[in-house]
A and B are shown apart, each in its own frame.
Chain A
């Protein structure tokens, strides 16, 4: 295809991505080094019977005019990145000096909003991904042994948790684990503790959200692995059986190596998706116990005063996190591409 034709075919799609994905990333970068204007202050001298008094007040008009003229705000450089709401360099340094043990350090680190969110985001991402892949793999193996008619039905019901958006899915689960809901009552009965509430303690809230995350994403892993099982080389499997491999050995040495590319694929997609966790937190109403990087951005943007600079700084830090997660894949693709072209 000629360059010219390619250009016209690709233009609409490329333009949409340039305007609404590439530019916003740049605009987020710029916003993160500007802070809102401070109010313009005026000092008025009042001469009264007891001498001259000076009073300072906010000049509303001038403030409005300044904000309208320069909506970006004033340039502050990297100041927002290092303040208490983000990387909190000063607080971090003083914590490092004042705390004695690692445990103390990490527990007080949890008081800083950015680190608190980061710890949940990372915990969530790196616990759900392996667990959901394991569950998905087991479902795929089990469904593969079912007779044909039952397969379709099982796949139908398995798709439901995945297809429903996290905020709705987590609400459904949230109502069930309520201490007056069906799962909540069951757990109270099992634990023999009528006051047990999953919403009250931080570890239990984290576990609930992680369980939700596995429930939501396991079907994706299941469907991909199940499709991979359909292309399993039957002769390799048969020769393994003839050689006397046990069922476990067949899975370990034939099935899993065959599915390895798919495992990488599912892990990549789910790492990217789970790193952006925040709807679950809104659905579970859990911000008192768990916050995530995306939740901080959502919260900053959502209030009456939209904290654009603060949200932008967190966005840039989140994008850096995504880049770190994605870097092994990019490096590998780059290497493959170079090998192919030489």
Chain B
């Protein structure tokens, strides 16, 4: 604690100020948009006075209260955002389960094999990780059209799993490296096969790593735009491409508030996620870095 006491008051004040400014920069846009999503467009985008977005005089004039759920009603019911919500839920569940299943098998194998090809597979995964997904999408479209695979949720799930695999492998590989090899080797000495050792000895101790990796798989599936916008038909759209498609239609019809409400609705689950899994997200972000 001696370090903190030797700081001059000026330094401490400027540090606090810096943190406060950063916190405002990070949090204010979300709070502002959340608050504004319950207003009418003329208040949220006010020509006369920016404080209208806080007090909502026109919202009160129209709906009799300074808050209105009209934007949410328009987005969820009129524009059928609930359908996109269901699609996102389905895509996320299947992407997370599939990529964790095949990722743990692959990551475990990579961490327990000492041959040279392991290095090359990891390098190949790193190169694949660097590919912008949109460049791959250009390669999917023609075969998918030819074989009638385009537009279905299942196709998108498989594509997202594959795109997610390099990252998942790297992360799980580094988690498995931390589990001592003696653990499964002693199980195999006791007569287990490799798969039994994996199933009964490794799986019970690997949950922290799997949960962290699963979170990142979820975020990728939830946030993806390039793949879902290109590979899903209109009725199968997930939330992010749906919001993007709002932009074209609603801004001309003067229903910007639908898009604002949809954006807030899509952000809320992420908010809850960070609240519960902050520790895992931080450890996941640093897992790759520790290796250097």
Indicate which residue in A19, A156, A168, A306 contacts B240 across the interface (CB closer than 8 Å): A168
Cβ A12 vs Cβ B105 within 8 A: yes
Known pairs A12-B106, A16-B165, A301-B141; A142 contacts B286 (CB<8 A): no
Check: A122 CB closer than 8 A to any chain B CB: no
A236 to B129 alpha-carbon distance, docked (Å): 37
A154 to B133 alpha-carbon distance, docked (Å): 32
Query: Which of A10, A154, A330: most chain B CB closer than 10 A?
Result: A10
Cβ A181 vs Cβ B223 within 8 A: no
Surface stretch bound by B, among A53-61, A100-108, A111-119, A259-267: A259-267
- Chain A nearest CB from B25 CB (Å) reads 7
Known pairs A21-B162, A152-B278, A160-B30; A16 contacts B102 (CB<8 A): yes
Check: A23 CB closer than 8 A to any chain B CB: yes
Q: Kindly list chain A residues whose C-beta atoms are within 8 Å of the C-beta of B29.
A: 161, 172-173, 176
Q: Kindly list chain B residues whose C-beta atoms are within 8 Å of the C-beta of A254.
A: none
Check: A282 CB closer than 8 A to any chain B CB: yes
Q: Kindly list chain A residues whose C-beta atoms are within 8 Å of the C-beta of B22.
A: 139, 142, 158
Check: B230 CB closer than 8 A to any chain A CB: yes
**When A and B form their complex, what is the total count of cross-chain residue pairs whose Cβ atoms lie within 8 Å?**
274
Check: A20 CB closer than 8 A to any chain B CB: yes
Query: Which of A300, A306, A325: most chain B CB closer than 10 A?
Result: A306
Check: B266 CB closer than 8 A to any chain A CB: yes
Surface stretch bound by B, among A1-9, A43-51, A89-97, A198-206: A1-9
A264 to B291 alpha-carbon distance, docked (Å): 12
21 residue pairs from A and B, CB less than 8 Å apart: A1-B114, A13-B107, A16-B161, A17-B125, A26-B139, A152-B278, A159-B274, A159-B278, A160-B270, A161-B26, A161-B29, A180-B47, A182-B32, A182-B50, A224-B285, A227-B282, A227-B290, A264-B292, A276-B132, A276-B134, A294-B134
Check: B91 CB closer than 8 A to any chain A CB: no
Cβ A23 vs Cβ B139 within 8 A: yes
A52-111 with Cβ < 8 A to chain B: 71-72
5 nearest A-B residue pairs (beta carbon): A24-B139, A13-B106, A20-B162, A165-B223, A9-B109
Cβ A285 vs Cβ B247 within 8 A: yes
Surface stretch bound by A, among B61-69, B79-87, B115-123, B203-211: B115-123
Query: Which of A71, A152, A279: most chain B CB closer than 10 A?
Result: A279
A154-184 with Cβ < 8 A to chain B: 154-161, 163-168, 171-173, 175-176, 178, 180-182
Cβ A278 vs Cβ B166 within 8 A: no
Indicate which residue in A10, A220, A247, A326 contacts B285 across the interface (CB closer than 8 Å): A220
A6 to B194 alpha-carbon distance, docked (Å): 10
Cβ B132 vs Cβ A13 within 8 A: no
- Chain B nearest CB from A298 CB (Å) reads 6
Q: Kindly list chain B residues whose C-beta atoms are within 8 Å of the C-beta of A269.
A: 288
Interface residues of B (CB under 8 A from A): 4, 7, 11-12, 15, 18-19, 22-23, 25-27, 29-30, 32-33, 36, 44-47, 50, 53, 101-103, 105-110, 112-116, 119, 121, 123-143, 145-146, 158-159, 161-163, 165-166, 169, 194, 198, 219, 222-226, 229-230, 240, 243-244, 247, 256, 259-260, 263, 266-267, 270-271, 273-275, 278, 281-282, 285-286, 288-290, 292
A167 to B15 alpha-carbon distance, docked (Å): 32
- Chain B nearest CB from A138 CB (Å) reads 7
Cβ A168 vs Cβ B267 within 8 A: yes
By beta carbon, the residue of chain B nearest A315 is B135
Known pairs A9-B109, A272-B130; A223 contacts B274 (CB<8 A): no
A200-253 with Cβ < 8 A to chain B: 215, 219-220, 223-224, 227-228, 247
Known pairs A16-B102, A302-B229, A315-B138; A142 contacts B15 (CB<8 A): yes
Known pairs A154-B23, A163-B270; A10 contacts B135 (CB<8 A): no
Indicate which residue in A20, A142, A247 contacts B19 across the interface (CB closer than 8 Å): A142
A145 to B162 alpha-carbon distance, docked (Å): 41
Q: Kindly list chain B residues whose C-beta atoms are within 8 Å of the C-beta of A27.
A: 139-140, 142-143
Known pairs A161-B26, A168-B263; A24 contacts B140 (CB<8 A): yes
Cβ B285 vs Cβ A275 within 8 A: no
Known pairs A158-B22, A301-B230; A308 contacts B138 (CB<8 A): yes
Check: A143 CB closer than 8 A to any chain B CB: yes
Q: Kindly list chain B residues whose C-beta atoms are within 8 Å of the C-beta of A172.
A: 29-30, 33, 263, 267
Q: Kindly list chain B residues whose C-beta atoms are within 8 Å of the C-beta of A286.
A: none
Q: Kindly list chain A residues whose C-beta atoms are within 8 Å of the C-beta of B194.
A: 1, 5, 9
Check: A333 CB closer than 8 A to any chain B CB: yes
Cβ B53 vs Cβ A182 within 8 A: yes
Cβ B138 vs Cβ A17 within 8 A: no
Q: Kindly list chain A residues whose C-beta atoms are within 8 Å of the C-beta of B127.
A: 326, 330
Cβ A160 vs Cβ B141 within 8 A: no
